[in-house]
Structures are given as C-alpha cells and as structure tokens.
C-alpha cells in the first residue's frame, strides 16, 4: 500500500510517522481476522497528527435505527487488577472513564473512528463477517478427525490386547521350568490383537476437508501442491491466482474507502485538502517481469504511454515521484554542462 510522495511534501515527516506500512498491514490483518478494523485520527499535545488503532475485540461502534453511525465505545477490563476502562467517542468530544468515573474529556475535531469492513457484511448490514467464521467449522472437523485418529492409535495400537486361541488348560506350570509365562494346549496360539486403521478412508476425508478449507480461504492452488507452475504462461499464472486476486481487490476497495476518510481527517487537522492524493496497492503475486517490461516498451514506442505512466506500472520502481525528480536533476545537470561548454 503506497501513498504518493505529494503527501510527504505537504506534511512534515513527524506527522507521517504513524502512517507506515506496518499500521496499514495491521488494519488489513484485523479485517481478515475479525471482519472489522478501527482507526482514530487525532492530534496530540505537540500538534503531531497520529492514528490510534483500536482492537476489534474492544470496539463497539453504535448505529441508530436508520443505519447512521452515531457513537463509538472502546471498552475493556484489565483482568490483572479488575479495572474497567471505557472511552466514549462522540462526534464532538471524547470521554474517558475508569470504573464508571469520568477521568477526562477532550475535544474531538475529527469525529468518530474510521470503521473498516471486509466487504462481506453480517445480517445487521453494518459489521463485517470475517472469512475466519467460515473456516472455523472446517478446522473443528479436522481437529476432531485427527484427535480421534490419535486416540485410536494410542488406545488400540500402542496398547494391544493379548488373545489366546485354544482350549483352556487347567494343568499348572512345573515349578522347575524357568521362563514359562503361559501354559497353552498343543497347537494353540497366543497373539497381540491391535486395531487396523482404515487409512485410505481417513486420507480421503482429510484431503476433502483441506481442499474445502483452501477453496473457502481462496488460497492459490499452487501454494498447496495442486498445480505445477513450471513453464506456465503469464495467463495461466493469473488463472491460478484468480481467487486470491479477487479477494485482494475487494480488500483494497474497502481499505481505499477508509484511507480516503483518513486523508479527510488529516486535512481537517492541518487545514489542508488532500483530495488529489492518489493511493495505490501492490499485490504480492508472481509475475513475468520481463514480459511486463516488454509490453511497456512496446506501448511507449507506439506513443500510447508516457514515461511517468511507464514508471508507475513498472515492477522495479516503487517511488515514481522520486524517479521523476532524479530524471529532472540529471537532465538539468546535463543541460548545465552543455551551456557551460
């Protein structure tokens, strides 16, 4: 996730500190894990703009009957000392409580915390439904199957039962015999009976559960050995990652809405407007870079792509603005050298 350099040029580095990629990735992680993520943008005592990530398990956004986002409550109990902490966010103020007693009240110029969702909403229509909810029943089935199989091995295979085959012999064992343990009839048999696991059936069930898990999680088949990527074309590679790409694009769309809301709040705090800031996302998918470079070169030669656009789509350039500045500096130096001569 990349914010273009224009924002850094208009906000000094200390104001940019909390908007690092780690924070953005944490938001994405919460979206996948819980279906929701929350961010509060504020300015501290030193005038530095910061973001506070609110853990989803402590977050309670409140919507009225009309679906309007009206209030937000951050609530937790410290089990170590049994202290109750509550922070209430209103559109104009933030109130802090400890064990029900008001301990602080602050002005709130940015309003309510930003509410990110995964895009798939629950029955209420307001909160995200995490993909983890669909995966947990499968995990439970896999754990149950492995647990039963482990119990079967421990109980029936590692603790066999002794079985004697033949008529019962009432005669006693001669006391002068050394090492005698059992007295069985001639032709009789003694063996250890163990249970035989139906390994093929267990493997079929486990494989089907894992395939269902990977399908719901939209994991590329190449990652769990279902496809051979040797000598595959770029189109075939895209097909292998199609489900993962769709999930990533949907997540990007939801993050984009929150990021633009973040920029709106930053603008309110620093009296600026960031509507012209562009936000782009980098997708971690294998690609044939040589083919991409060849396509870029062809389009530039045809005159249908500018150098700046070529830099933006190039897999090797991460900071387009900086590259353009370096190119301009090199051009100016070359021009100065020509004039000097």
| Last residue within a domain, chosen from 243, 263, 286 | 286
| 152 and 115 part of one domain | no
Between CA 31 and CA 101 the distance in angstroms is 32
302 and 266 share a domain? Answer: no
What phi and psi values does residue 63 have, to the nearest 5 degrees?
A: -115, 145
Instruction: Tell which residue, 70, 29, 69, has the closest CA to residue 53.
Output: 29
**Does a structural domain hold residue 160?**
yes
SS3 at position 193: strand
* Mean predicted confidence (pLDDT) in 113-130: 91
Could you list the beta-strand ranges (E) of the chain.
2-3, 36-43, 49-54, 59-63, 69-78, 83-89, 93-98, 101-107, 114-117, 161-165, 189-193, 279-280
From 110, 115, 117, 116, select the one nearest 41 (Cα to Cα): 110
The region, left, alpha or beta by phi > 0 then psi within -120 to 50, assigned to residue 105 is beta
Instruction: Please give the Cα distance from 60 to 129 (Å, whole number).
Output: 15
- Is 80 domain-assigned? yes
Residues 153 and 270 in one domain: no
In the chain, the number of structural domains is 3
The per-residue pLDDT for 63 is 94
Q: Residue 82 and residue 69: Cα distance in Å, rounded?
A: 30
294 within some domain = yes
Q: Which two tokens stand for residue 95?
A: 């109130």
91-105, 122-136, 231-245: least confidently modelled range: 231-245
Among residues 108, 6, 1, the alpha carbon closest in space to that of 322 is found at 6
Q: State residue 236's pLDDT score.
A: 66
Mark whether 123 and 199 lie in a shared domain.
no
Mean pLDDT across 123-151: 90
- Tell whether 139 is covered by a domain: no
Residues 125 and 22 in one domain: yes
Q: Is residue 263 part of a domain?
A: yes
Residues 8 and 123 in one domain: yes
pLDDT for res 6: 47
Strand 59-63 to 114-117 pairing: unpaired
Is residue 93 domain-resident? yes
Q: What percentage of the chain exceeds 70 in pLDDT?
A: 83
Q: Are residues 62 and 46 in contact, defined by beta-carbon separation less than 8 angstroms?
A: no
**Per the confidence metrics, is the pTM higher than 0.75?**
no
Please indicate, yes or no, whether residues 99 and 38 belong to a single structural domain of this protein.
yes
Show the domain range for 33: 2-130+251-286
| One domain, residues 21 and 64 | yes
Q: How many residues does the chain have?
A: 341
Query: Which H helix or E strand runs over 131?
Result: none
End residue of a domain, out of 242, 270, 286:
286
Distance CA 69, CA 64 (A): 7
**C-alpha angle with apex 18: 14 to 19, nearest 5 degrees?**
105
The SS3 call for residue 146 is helix
Residue 245 domain flag: no
pLDDT at 58 over 90: yes
Q: Which one is predicted more confidently, 192 or 145? A: 145
Span of 2-16, 103-117, 150-164, 166-180 with lowest mean pLDDT: 2-16
Do residues 128 and 74 make contact, with C-beta atoms less than 8 angstroms apart?
no
Residues 268 and 121 in one domain: yes
Q: Encode pLDDT of 273-322 as tens digits.
A: 887 777 878 777 776 677 788 888 999 999 898 888 888 888 888 778 88
Tell me: do 55 and 172 sit in the same domain.
Answer: no
Are residues 55 and 112 part of one domain?
A: yes
Is residue 45 domain-shared with residue 55, that is, in the same domain? yes
Residue 229 lies in a domain: no
């Amino acid at each position: 996730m990349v914010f273009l350099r224009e924002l850094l040029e208009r906000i000094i580095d200390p104001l940019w500190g909390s908007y690092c990629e780690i924070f953005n990735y944490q938001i994405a992680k919460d979206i996948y894990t819980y279906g929701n993520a929350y961010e509060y943008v504020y300015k501290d005592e030193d005038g530095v703009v910061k973001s506070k990530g609110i853990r989803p398990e402590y977050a309670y956004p409140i919507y009225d009957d009309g679906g309007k986002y009206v209030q937000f409550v951050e609530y937790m109990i410290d089990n170590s000392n049994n202290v109750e902490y509550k922070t209430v966010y209103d559109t104009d103020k933030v109130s802090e409580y400890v064990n029900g007693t008001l301990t602080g009240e602050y002005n709130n110029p940015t309003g309510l915390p930003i509410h990110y969702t995964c895009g798939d909403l629950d029955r209420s229509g307001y909160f995200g439904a995490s993909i983890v909810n669909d995966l947990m029943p499968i995990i439970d089935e896999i754990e149950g199957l492995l647990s039963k199989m482990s119990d079967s091995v421990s109980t029936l295979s590692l603790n066999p039962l002794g079985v004697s085959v033949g008529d019962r012999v009432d005669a006693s064992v001669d006391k002068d015999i050394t090492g005698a343990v059992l007295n069985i009839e001639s032709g009789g048999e003694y063996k250890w009976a163990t249970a035989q696991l139906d390994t093929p059936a267990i493997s079929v069930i486990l494989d089907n559960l894992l395939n269902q898990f990977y399908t719901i999680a939209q994991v590329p088949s190449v990652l769990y050995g279902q496809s051979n990527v040797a000598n595959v074309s770029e189109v075939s590679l895209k097909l292998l990652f199609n489900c993962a790409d769709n999930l990533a694009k949907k997540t990007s769309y939801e993050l984009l809405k929150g990021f633009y809301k973040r920029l709106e709040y930053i603008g309110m705090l620093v009296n600026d407007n960031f509507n012209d800031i562009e936000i782009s996302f980098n997708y971690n998918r294998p690609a044939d870079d040589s083919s991409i470079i060849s396509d870029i070169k062809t389009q530039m030669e045809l005159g249908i792509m500018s150098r700046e656009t070529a830099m933006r789509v190039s897999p090797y350039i991460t900071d387009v603005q900086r590259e353009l500045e370096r190119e301009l500096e090199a051009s100016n130096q070359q021009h100065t050298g020509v004039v000097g001569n």
